[in-house]
Amino acid sequence: MAIGVRAMHLTIVPHVLAVAAAIMVLVWCISFRGGLAWDSSDKSLIFNTHPVLMLIGFILLSGEAIMCYKSLPLSKEVKKLIHLVVHAIALILGIVGVYAAFKYHNESNIANLYSLHSWLGIGVIVIYGLQWIYGFLVFFYPGGSGGLRSESLPWHVLVGMFVYILAVATAAIGFLEKLTFLEVSGVDKYGAEAYLVNFTAIVTILYGAFVVLTCFTQAHQADHDYSYSAI
C-alpha cells in the first residue's frame, strides 16, 4: 500500500527537520550546557556528548538510512550499500553515545541503568545491532537464497520500523528525564532552555514520524524495486 506522494518529494520535510533538530541539540549542549568533552573535570560536559551523538549520530542518521531506500534515484545495489553503511555509522555512534552516558555516570558516582530511558536505550542498541548483522548476512554478504531474502524482507522492514520508533520514543523520554533533573536543580520551567529542550523533542518526534511515513510513499520511478515496495 502506497500513498499518492513521491518519496523524493516528501523527504524534503524530514531533511529540514533533521537540520533543525541537529542545530537545536547543539545549541542546547554548547550554549546552555557549556560545551562537549570526553575528559573533563566538569563531568556534565562528558554527558553532553550523549544527546548529541544519540540524536545526530543515531536518530537522524538511521532515519536517513531508512529513507534513502525509497527516495534516492539510484540503482538498487547502490541504495542497498548506502543503507548498510549509514546504518553501520549510526550504530557505531549510538554505541559511543551510550558509552558516554555510562562514562559520565561512573565518573560522577551515579548509578547506571535505573531508569526506563536507560533500559529502553540498551534494548534499542541491542535490537538495532542484531538487525544490522542479520541484514548484512542475508541481504549483503554472503547473502541468503532468493527464498530466504523474500521471506526475510517483510520482517526486516517491520523490525526496522519497530526499533526506529522505539528509538525515537526513547529519545523523547531522555529529553524529558534530563529536563526534569535540570528543573529540579533550578532551571526555570518556563525559561529559554526548557522551551528549547521541549521543542527539540517535538522536532525529533516529527522527524521520526516523517521517516516512517516515507515507507508508505511511492519509490522513485527510475528504480521501482518491487521487492521493496511500500508497506
pLDDT tens column, 26-35: 999 999 999 9
Given a contact cutoff of 8 angstroms between Cβ atoms, the answer to whether 67 and 211 are in contact is yes
Residue 85 belongs to some domain of the structure: yes
User: Residue 120 is placed in which grid cell?
Assistant: 529502553
Would you state the pLDDT for residue 229?
Answer: 42
Would you state the pLDDT for residue 36?
Answer: 97
What is the residue-averaged pLDDT of the chain? Answer: 92
Report the SS3 class of residue 60. helix
Q: Grid coordinates 555512534 are at which residue? A: 93
Residue 23 belongs to some domain of the structure: yes
Axis crossing angle, helix 146-184 with helix 116-135, rounded to the nearest 10: 160
Range of 54's domain?
Answer: 3-218
- Does residue 117 or residue 69 have the better pLDDT? 117
Residue 229 belongs to some domain of the structure: no
pLDDT tens column, 94-151: 999 999 999 999 999 999 999 999 999 999 999 999 999 999 999 999 988 989 999 9
Would you state the pLDDT for residue 9?
Answer: 83
Residue 204 belongs to some domain of the structure: yes
The amino acid sitting at 173 is: I
Residue 226 belongs to some domain of the structure: no
The whole-model pTM stands at 0.92
User: What ranges in the chain are assigned the alpha helix state H?
Assistant: 7-10, 12-26, 43-52, 61-71, 76-107, 116-135, 146-184, 192-214
Whether pLDDT at 2 is above 70: no
Given a contact cutoff of 8 angstroms between Cβ atoms, the answer to whether 77 and 118 are in contact is no
Q: Grid coordinates 542545530 are at which residue? A: 23
pLDDT tens column, 147-182: 999 999 999 999 999 999 999 999 999 999 999 999
Would you state the pLDDT for residue 6?
Answer: 78
**pLDDT band per the 50, 70, 90 thresholds, residue 82:** very high
Would you state the pLDDT for residue 195?
Answer: 98
Residue 224 belongs to some domain of the structure: no
Whether pLDDT at 196 is above 70: yes
CATH number at residue 183: 1.20.120.1770
pLDDT tens column, 39-50: 999 999 999 999
Would you state the pLDDT for residue 222?
Answer: 53
- Measured between alpha carbons, how far is 142 from 23 in angstroms, rounded to an integer? 39
How many structural domains compose the chain? 1
